[in-house]
Structure 1
Amino acid sequence: MSKLRVSCFSLSIDGYGAGPNQDLDNPLGVNGHSLHEWIFETQTFKKMLFNQSGGTTGIDEEFAARGFQNIGAWILGRNMFSPSRGKWPNFDWKGWWGDNPPYHTPVFILTHHPRPVIVMEGGTIFHFVTDGIESALKQAKDAAGKKDVRLGGGVATIRQYLQAGLVDELHLAISPTLLGSGEHFFVGTDLSKLGFRCIEHISSLKATHIVLKK
């Protein structure tokens, strides 16, 4: 059965999944890039984002690669797709990633404002869902078939799915950095009451990887 997975989601030691003051120049918030130092040099990241060879191996690479295994569709919050808020100013913006985004599957974007489907290079197709998280999940699972759906974020989107009891697996990468403010991951979310248990934890030089399942 298809699962809804959160993979490779980076948090600071103090629980923030993005820094403050997100904008076009700081899509991850101020100092938010520090959360992701563990993945930047991995083979998977270099290949998926830049189509480059080489990169590091080891624990971080293993988790990065696992995050893309058996994924048939993605779900993203609007802020993961675009820096704009409210009604779309126009339809020129097609994401942060250029003509060939790293998803290579259907991607379902949660938004309150309709927009036509965007077909990109490499198999990525952006669909814009205006009728809620459960509708997006149904559409994503239909598109994924027997494969899993990856929930990419951001923080508020993941919290919605967690609080609705819809997430099956959660991989958090705790980075050795403090943000102090931004988007806090655990606000209003009791993972224990939601039925999660830790099934795996291992540390690299740049992150502590924790896997939780129901």
Structure 2
Amino acid sequence: MTEKKTKVRVASFSISLDGYGAATDQSLDNPMGIDGKAVHEWVFSTRWWSQIVGQEGGTEGIDNDFLKRGSENLGAWIIGRNMFGPVRGPWPDMNWKGWWGNNPPYHVPVYVLTHYARPPLKMEGGTTFYFITEGIHDALAKAREAANGKDIRIGGGANIIQQYLREGLIDELHIAITPTILGGGERLFDNVDLRKLGYECVRFEASEKVTHVILQHNKKSL
């Protein structure tokens, strides 16, 4: 029996029509930036999202299928510090424990890229946050070990995804293009030549709310 290869992937990463994954002026009150939540509206009505947040109801269909697909076979996450919280610079204290309460929706080890060290943070439901100061390769090596053959999901933000893309380390990228215009914020593909790096579109499918695009890394083209 062939051993399944660990994939490094981005899933359900929403961007606006003008290419922004997050809006301007991110803060505690607006973690996705001013009007940034509009880019993610397609997620909140799905049945899978309702299950993630412990609620009932929600819709099935294309959007639900793509969102659920992003959660399958995951053994670890890698995220940027901005995705963990709004605190910038040295940690003032250890009080901030993420946006998600005591039981975050990850349920696997999560490696947070940061310039400032912090002890691991164990949460309910199987999530432990590890704060990595040695860069993207160190985070990926630790995530591979923790994933134990399962996939690793790069959660963002845009800058973190760009760093892994430029190194050709992401095997699959699922983006959800929404019919919104933000006008500013963090662009996903700034200074990233996807074609030169060996990425190609292998699937696109639209629902009433969003267009789903899957890019895969074709290592043979390098």
Offset at 1:25? 0.8
Looking at structure 2, the residues matched to 81 and 4 of structure 1 have their Cα atoms a distance apart, in angstroms, of 20
Q: Which residue of 2 aligns with 1:11?
A: 15
Offset at 1:128? 0.5
Q: Which residue of 2 aligns with 1:91?
A: 94
Looking at structure 1, the residues matched to 138 and 56 of structure 2 have their Cα atoms a distance apart, in angstroms, of 38
TM-score w.r.t. the length of structure 1 is 0.98
Question: Considering only aligned residues, what root-mean-square deviation do their CA atoms show, in Å?
Answer: 0.6
* Identity value in percent: 55
After the TM superposition, which segments of 4 or more aligned residues of structure 1 sit over 6 Å from their partners? none
Looking at structure 1, the residues matched to 183 and 16 of structure 2 have their Cα atoms a distance apart, in angstroms, of 9
Q: Which residue of 2 aligns with 1:161?
A: 164
What SS does structure 2 have at the residue aligned with 1:92? coil
Q: Which sections of structure 2, spanning at least 5 residues, go unmatched?
A: 218-222
Looking at structure 2, the residues matched to 186 and 76 of structure 1 have their Cα atoms a distance apart, in angstroms, of 17
Which AA in structure 2 matches 1:153?
G
What SS does structure 1 have at the residue aligned with 2:149? coil
Which AA in structure 2 matches 1:190?
D
Q: Does 1:42 align with 2:46?
A: yes
Q: Does 1:171 align with 2:174?
A: yes
Q: Which sections of structure 1, spanning at least 5 residues, go unmatched?
A: none
Offset at 1:47? 1.2
TM-score w.r.t. the length of structure 2 is 0.95
Q: Deviations over 1:146-199 (max 9, x none)?
A: 100000000111111111111110000000000011111111001111111111
Q: Which residue of 1 aligns with 2:57?
A: 54
* Number of aligned residue pairs: 213
